[in-house]
């Protein structure tokens, strides 16, 4: 495509949408052998800004709902870990515990039909998007009433009605798909923005770089969000990267960039509101991608069998002092939004919901073996299946 403004996008006759979606570059002045001014990257930092629920336009009830949502993710996974120990759940189980401010804050800031895609550490985002704990737990148990009819398991939560597109096990594999979803939004002129979440380990995959470049060229309304939880399995970011400042990964592609304190619900919420609006083109009439680093931490191992020799107890304990759920709880109490008794009630409600989900999952039947090849391809008569 170099040297031409042509695009390979197929355009139905008379349809101006693809033309609008085509790249019209904007290339920043290249560094040629002459005078040039270095670019100053556009980075927004969302950390320690002192945002309050009032400054964000949130009511006390909104804050309580968000607290409840984070707590649901936490209790759901604590119970899932227990059920894994009882061999009710097979295969892999990657817990999101510690990262709940990211899911709740981001999802709450979006429109309900902004599509979301993520990796295998997917329970938190699915629950934040409104998947029922019944459908989630049944999926973990491999039962027919699970969100993927019991055939996806922990790594493949999916809910098209809620615009939640998985749940993907190949590190980085979901990133190009997320950019494609964003492209579709632009092509159809819906005003939506797609969210592609991935881990710090995925940034080293070629798929990320190819997708990021296309997102930039086509001004795709997509947020490329790295949830930097400091480790990819047992490898710390510092050991895996020449430059551990992941936020810089948007620079080579000319993207706007944001860095967010992912342990602070209000920072995440406020950031995603601003960024998503800008990516939709609401600020300047131009859709665009963003590169977003959310700095977070996972309190549990990579998956259920992880001796965690790569970090010290002191490090883990120190991070637990920043627990995003305890921070919201402290905020609610400090600002006297609700008394502690109300928060205890919320916790009891959430625990009861999760226990009911376990019963639901126990009672749901296993999928019949005859359904094995169903739900593999969207095209029902796809020729290469039995
Ligand atoms: C292409 C590919 N390579 C390797 C793996 C094995 N693997 C599974 S998870 C993982 C680490 C990914 O870490 P990160 O992206 O930081 O996500 P996190 O687990 O921290 O959420 C690796 C290497 C895989 N699933 N896919
Ligand atoms: Mg990681």
3-state SS string over 51-93?
CCCCCCCCCHHHHHHHHHHHHHHHHHHHHHHHHHHCCCCCCCC
Ligand 1 lined by 118 (C-beta under 6 Å): no
Q: Residue 171 Cα, ligand 2 centroid: separation in angstroms?
A: 10
Q: Are strands 231-232 and 222-228 parallel, antiparallel or unpaired?
A: unpaired
- How confident is the model at residue 73, as a pLDDT? 98
Residue with CA at minimum distance from ligand 1 atom 7: 171
Relative to beta strand 231-232, strand 235-236 is antiparallel
Contacts of 380 (CB under 8 A, 6+ apart): none
Q: Alpha-carbon dihedral of residues 277, 283, 285, 290, nearest 10 degrees? A: -50
For ligand 2, the distance from its centroid to the CA atom of residue 241, given in whole angstroms, is 12
**Per-residue pLDDT tens digits for 102-157:** 999 999 999 999 999 999 999 999 999 999 999 999 999 999 999 999 999 999 99
CATH of the domain spanning 55-363: 3.40.50.970
Q: How far is the CA of 237 from the centre of ligand 2 (A)?
A: 8
The pLDDT value given to residue 37:
76
Query: 170: Cβ below 6 Å to ligand 1?
Result: yes
* Among the bound ligands, the one closest to the CA of 173: 1
User: Which pLDDT does position 23 carry in this prediction?
Assistant: 61
Ranges of residues in the chain whose predicted pLDDT is under 70 = 1-32, 385-386
Burial class of residue 39, CB neighbours in 10 A (0-12, 13-18, 19+): exposed
Please state whether 13 falls in left (phi above 0), alpha (psi between -120 and 50) or beta: beta
Question: For the chain, which residues make up each domain, given as ranges?
Answer: 55-363
Asked if residue 201 has its Cβ within 6 Å of ligand 1, the reply is: yes
The confidence score (pLDDT) of residue 257 equals 97
CB-based contact 238:315 (threshold 8 Å):
no
Cα(183) to centroid of ligand 1, in Å?
26
Residue nearest to ligand 1 atom 13, measured at CA: 232
Evaluate the CA torsion angle 52, 279, 254, 174 in order and state its sign.
positive
* Ligand found nearest the CA of 231: 2
Rounded distance from Cα 198 to ligand 1 centre (Å): 9
Residue 20's pLDDT is: 60
The pLDDT value given to residue 24: 58
């Amino acid at each position: 495509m170099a040297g031409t403004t042509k695009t390979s996008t197929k355009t139905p006759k008379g349809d101006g949408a693809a033309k609008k979606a085509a790249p019209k570059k904007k290339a920043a002045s290249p560094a040629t052998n002459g005078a040039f001014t270095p670019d100053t990257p556009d980075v927004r930092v969302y950390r320690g800004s002192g945002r309050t629920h009032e400054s964000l336009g949130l009511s006390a009830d909104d804050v309580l709902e968000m607290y409840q949502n984070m707590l649901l993710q936490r209790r759901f996974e604590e119970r899932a870990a227990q059920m894994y120990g009882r061999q009710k759940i097979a295969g892999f189980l990657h817990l999101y515990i510690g990262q709940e401010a990211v899911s709740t804050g981001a999802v709450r800031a979006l429109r309900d039909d902004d599509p979301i895609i993520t990796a295998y550490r997917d329970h938190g985002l699915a629950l934040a998007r409104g998947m029922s704990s019944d459908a989630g737990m049944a999926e973990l148990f491999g039962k027919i009433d699970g969100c993927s009819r019991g055939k996806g398991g922990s790594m493949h939560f999916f809910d098209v009605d809620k615009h939640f597109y998985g749940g993907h096990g190949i590190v980085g594999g979901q990133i190009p798909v997320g950019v494609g979803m964003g492209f579709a939004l632009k092509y159809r002129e819906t005003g939506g923005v797609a969210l592609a979440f991935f881990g710090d380990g995925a940034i080293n995959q070629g798929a990320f770089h190819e997708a990021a470049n296309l997102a930039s060229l086509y001004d795709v309304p997509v947020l490329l969000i790295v949830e930097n939880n400091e480790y990819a399995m047992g490898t710390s970011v510092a050991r895996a990267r020449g430059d551990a400042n992941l936020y810089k990964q948007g620079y080579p592609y000319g993207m706007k960039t944001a860095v967010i304190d992912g342990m602070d619900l209000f920072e995440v919420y406020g950031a995603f509101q601003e960024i998503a609006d800008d990516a939709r083109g609401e600020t300047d009439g131009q859709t665009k991608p963003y590169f977003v680093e959310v700095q977070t931490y996972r309190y549990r191992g990579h998956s259920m069998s992880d001796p965690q020799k790569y970090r010290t107890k002191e490090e883990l304990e120190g991070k637990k002092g920043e627990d995003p759920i305890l921070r919201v709880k402290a905020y609610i109490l400090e600002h006297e939004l609700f008394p502690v008794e109300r928060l205890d009630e919320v916790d009891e409600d959430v625990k009861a919901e999760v226990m009911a989900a376990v019963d639901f999952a126990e009672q749901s039947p296993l999928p019949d073996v005859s359904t094995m090849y169903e739900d593999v391809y969207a095209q029902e008569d796809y020729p290469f299946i039995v």
